Structure formats: C-alpha cells, structure tokens
Chain A
Amino acid sequence: MNNLTVSPAPHITSGQTTQKIMFKVVLALLPAGLAGIYIFGLSSLRVILISIVSCVMSEAIFLKLRKRDPKAVLDGSALLTGLLLAYNLPPEIPFWLLVVGGCVSIVIGKQLFGGLGHNIFNPALVGRVFLHISWPLYMTTWKNPRWAVDAVSTATPLANEGARGFTYMDLFLGNHGGCIGEVCIAALLIGAAFLIFTKIISWHIPVSFMGTAMFLAWIFGGDGFFNGDFIFHLLAGGLVLGAFFMATDYVTRPLTKMGKIIFGIGCGVLTAVIRLNGSYPEGVSYAILFMNAMVPLIDRYTKTRKYGFVK
C-alpha cells in the first residue's frame, strides 16, 4: 500500500484497499452507465467498452515497458479511468478517438508521473480535455435521446440556452443530448448516495462545488442580477458527474476538510465563469483540471496543526 498519498493525522485504518475502493466507485457509476445505454442505445455501450479496453491495454503495455509488476493493472484504477473517460464523451464518437483518448489518459495523465498515486491531474479528465481541444467537432456532435420526436440532432441544453424548452424533469431523467454518463441525474444521484453512505467520499467537495456554481449562476446567469436559473445549471451538463465522481478522485484532491472546501469552491467558481463567459458551453472538466494544479499548494497551507504542539 505504498502508493497512496499520506494523509495528515489522525491516521485510521479502515480496512479499505485500493482495489475495494475502486470497485465500489465503479459499482456506484453503473446506474448512470446503464441509463446512458438505455437513453442513447447500444452505441454508448460500444464507447464504454472500447474506452475501458484501451485504458487497460495502455496501462499493461506501459507497465511492461517499465518492467514493473503487470499485476498492477488489476487494481481497477485503469478500469475506472476508462469508465469515467467514456462517461464524458458523446455516444457516437469514432473508434480511433477512443483509442487515442484512453492512451493519452493513461500514459500522459498517469504513467509518466509514476502510476497510481503519483499523478497530479485526473487522468480521465486529461484524456477528455485533450480530445476536446484536438477534435472539437467530434466532441460536440451529440445524439438524440430515444424519446426525441424530431430527427434533427440537438445540441446540449447548455449550448443552446436561448432556445431551451427542456423541463426540469427532462434534465433530471436525461431526456436531452449530452455525454453518456452525465445526462441522467437521477442515476448519478443513486451512485453518489451509495458513495457517501459507504464513506468512500465525503460531502465537502461535491457540496461546495455544486453550491458555488449554482450560487454564481443564480447571481450572474440571468438578465440582470439574482435571477439566473440555478436549477437548470445544476441539472444540465456535467456538474453532478464532475462534483461527485471526478473532483473527489482520491489522488488529485486535497487531504483536509478545509482544503476540500477550498478546492470545491474553486471548481465551482471556474465552472460558472467558463459556462457564463467562456466560449465553451461547459467548463466542469477544465475547472477540475485547473484546480488539480492547485492541490499541492492548498495542501501545504491547510495542513492540520499538531495538537498541543507549540512552535
């Protein structure tokens, strides 16, 4: 277990191993994936499978090249990265893009830093942002959900805010175009509840992240001040997926409670700023990646003091 970052005191052993945690997170992600497959059809399943295979293969090949123990592939982290990457992609993305994405996530995002526990940035987000900058066209071609009446391919709700026409129920259940794993908020919340209930993640990051983003959307999101549609901003796009499953990644989040709240607020501010003022409609991935770079500094300044220790 030498590959987990040391957290500040008190140190409590909880019987959790990397493998157990990883598979619990994968389990928590399942409902959202099933919902995505149900909503967008079997093409989503294809994306998920190829993404996972390409991540696991990249990891295996890199470990082989570095002459490391190939059993490390089985710790489930590559599987989780592949799953998260797929959840952040549109359902009809070409085959080769997935291969490139998985390879970039694992090799550049993780293995070049020394593998699990050493990466500074969230590997799945590295892959996702790489693809988004490189091939914006493929990354913003969305597929209609199964209930759609017209055959015209829609954009995500965030992209065509002017012509909304989505009810909150549509957004909550996932009846709109979007990435595979982010559309069905109901399914994501089931998984999130499981993670919080089993104490895999704490509430600090998700609550401060979503709260800040909603608060800013409420103030600045409408015409004039204090009348933005903050529920819309919570339900549309990848905010829920990002806040519960990406920002809380064990390796790339701060260690202390205070640090987590600062991290969450930072993510929220950046997400709102990019959504409302940037040229990209969605900013969750960029916001988390940006805050990942700040984590070492946050950790340094929120270290817990030694109890009863006078300098």
Chain B
Amino acid sequence: MKKLLREFSKGIFIENPTFRLALGLCPTLAVSTSVINGFGMGVAATFVLLGSNIIVSAIRNFIPTKIRIPCFIVIIATFVTIVELMMKAYFPALSKSLGIFVPLIVVNCIVLGRAEAFASKHGISRSIFDAIGMGVGFTLALVLISAIRESLGNGTLLGLVIVRGFDPAILFILAPGALLVIGLLIGIVNYLTEK
C-alpha cells in the first residue's frame, strides 16, 4: 500500500509532469485561459491517462516490442475519441472552448510517456496509481496556471470578480501571457527546489 501511495504522490510533486519534467506543455499553455478550461482539460487528460495505463499494463506481455508504440497510440486514440464524444454530448460549451486541444490529447507526451515508461513495465494496480498521480499533478499545474492567468488577465476566478476596480492585464489571457507565466513559474520552482 505504501508503494502504491508513493506512485501516486510522486506525480504531484517530485515528478510533476508540468514543472519538473516539462511534458505536455502544449495543452497546458493553450487552454489555461480560465480555471474551468484548465480543470476540464486536466480531467480529460487524467481519464485518457488512466484508461491507457490500465489497458497497456494489462496487455503488456502480449505486445511485441517492435510495434509497441503504434499499439499504444491506437489505445490512446481510442480513449481520446471516447472523451471527445462524451464531452461533445454532455459539456458542449467546454468542448467548444477547448477546441482542437481535445483531439490533441492523443499527442500529449505525458500519456504516451507514461505508457512507455511505466505501464508497459509494471502491474495494473501500480499503473493505476501512477496514472492518477500524474493526472492529478497535471490537473493541479493546469489549475494553478489558469488561476494566475484568469485572475491577472480577466480579473476573475472561476468567473467571479475578485477585486472590484482592478484593471486586468489582457496580455495574460493572450498567448504571450501563457509563455511568461510558465517561464516564471518554472523559474520559481527551480529556485525553491535548489535549496
């Protein structure tokens, strides 16, 4: 049990996919304009991660090593399609604002990276905890970045006005703001962990 918990917690701090490993940055930057979007993206990616980790781990002994990557891609793409269709059916507004970044989960390096580096080598239960840990770490990073960008760039948090009379800096919900925030955040994380 302790081992499983460690698999879970490493994804959140020590091996946080966004800040420590710098994986899956494309969607992180693109959809973090509001907390709702960031959270939706995080949950969608976690679902795909969980599904693909379970299946990959379950059939890891049957896949020939030579064609393992194409197999992983097919498995991931299947789960992405499921997410795409479900989101379109139940959360049409979210699906619209995330746009092409929902199908793009298929090329999110975190998902393929975990399938290759972890699930194809470990048992199902550990892979599940690994997936959830990584997914939660990714979601937390997304929520953090989108909270910063939404509050500075739009003056709101989850759509609610925080301080009245604050003039938001539009730059932060535009492209340069995303790059600026992630650069400074990684710098801060480096500074804190250096000590």
A70 at the binding interface (Cβ < 8 Å): no
List which B165-195 residues lie within 8 A (CB) of chain A.
Answer: 167, 169-172, 174, 176, 180
Q: Flag if A136 contacts B180 (CB, 8 Å).
A: no
| Nearest CB on B from A1, distance (A) | 29
Question: CB of A23 within 8 A of chain B?
Answer: no
For B168, the closest partner residue in chain A by CB is A134
Chain A, range 84-140, C-beta contacts under 8 Å to B: 100, 108, 130, 133-136, 138
Interface of A is mostly: helix
Closest residue of chain B to A107 (Cβ to Cβ) is: B184
8 Å CB interface, A22-39 against B: none
Q: Which of A128-181 contact B (CB under 8 A)?
A: 130, 133-136, 138
Please give, as numbers and ranges, the residues of chain B lying within 8 Å of A134 by CB-CB distance: 169-172
Q: Which residues on B sit within 8 Å (CB–CB) of A135?
A: 167, 169-170
CA distance A135 to B171 in the complex (A): 8
Task: State how many angstroms separate the Cβ of B164 from the closest Cβ of chain A.
Answer: 16
Cα–Cα distance between A162 and B170 once the two chains are bound (Å)? 29
A133 touches B180 (CB 8 A): no
B contacts with A: majority SS: helix
Cα of A135 to Cα of B180 in the assembled complex, Å: 17
Say which size band chain B's interface belongs to: under 10
**Chain A residues within an 8 Å CB radius of B180:** 108
Docked pose: A135 CA to B169 CA in angstroms = 6
Q: Chain A contacts of B171 at CB under 8 A?
A: 130, 133-134
Chain B residue numbers with a CB within 8 Å of A108 are: 180
Query: Of residues 55 to 114 in B, which have CB atoms within 8 Å of A's CB atoms?
Result: none
Q: How far is the CA of A138 from the CA of B176 in the complex (A)?
A: 20
Residues of A within 8 A of B167 (CB): 135, 138
- The distance in angstroms between the C-alpha atoms of A219 and B170, with both chains bound, is 35
CB distance from B181 to the nearest CB of A (A): 12
B39 → chain A closest CB, angstroms:
25
Taking each of A130, A134, A138, which has the highest tally of chain B beta carbons within 10 Å of its own beta carbon? A134
Cα A136 to Cα B169 in complex, Å, equals 9
Which residues of chain A have C-beta atoms less than 8 A from B170's C-beta?
Answer: 133-136
Query: Quick one: closest B residue to A112, CB to CB?
Result: B187
**B161 nearest CB across to chain A (Å):** 18
CB distance from B176 to the nearest CB of A (A): 7
Cβ contacts under 8 Å, A100 to chain B = 169
Most chain-A CB neighbours within 10 Å: which of B169, B174, B176, B180?
A: B169
Query: Complex Cα distance A136/B176, Å?
Result: 15
Cα–Cα distance between A100 and B167 once the two chains are bound (Å): 12
Chain B residues closer than 8 Å to A138, beta-carbon distance: 167
Instruction: Please give me the residue from chain A that is nearest to B153 by CB atom.
Output: A134
Q: Using Cβ atoms and an 8 Å threshold, which residues of chain A touch B176?
A: 133
CB distance from B152 to the nearest CB of A (A): 9
In the bound complex, residues from chain A placing their C-beta under 8 Å from that of B174 are 133
Tell me how far the C-beta of B61 lies from the nearest C-beta in chain A, rounded to whole angstroms: 50
Q: Give min CB distance, A256 to chain B, whole Å.
A: 31
**Residues on the A chain within 8 Å of B172, using CB:** 134
In the bound complex, how far is the Cα of B167 from the Cα of A136, in angstroms? 11
Minimum Cβ distance to chain B for residue A266 (Å): 21
Q: Mark B139-180, 1 if CB is under 8 A from A, else 0.
A: 000000000000000000000000000010111101010001
Task: Give B194 Cβ to nearest chain A Cβ, in Å.
Answer: 14
Task: Return the chain B residue nearest A108 by Cβ.
Answer: B180
Show 10 A/B contacts (Cβ-Cβ < 8 Å), sorted by A.
A108-B180, A133-B171, A133-B176, A134-B170, A134-B171, A134-B172, A135-B167, A135-B169, A135-B170, A136-B170
Contacts A134-B171, A135-B167 given; 14 further ones with Cβ under 8 A?
A100-B169, A108-B180, A130-B171, A133-B170, A133-B171, A133-B174, A133-B176, A134-B169, A134-B170, A134-B172, A135-B169, A135-B170, A136-B170, A138-B167
| The 9 residue pairs across chains A and B that have the minimum distance between CB atoms | A134-B169, A134-B171, A133-B171, A134-B170, A135-B167, A130-B171, A133-B170, A135-B169, A133-B174
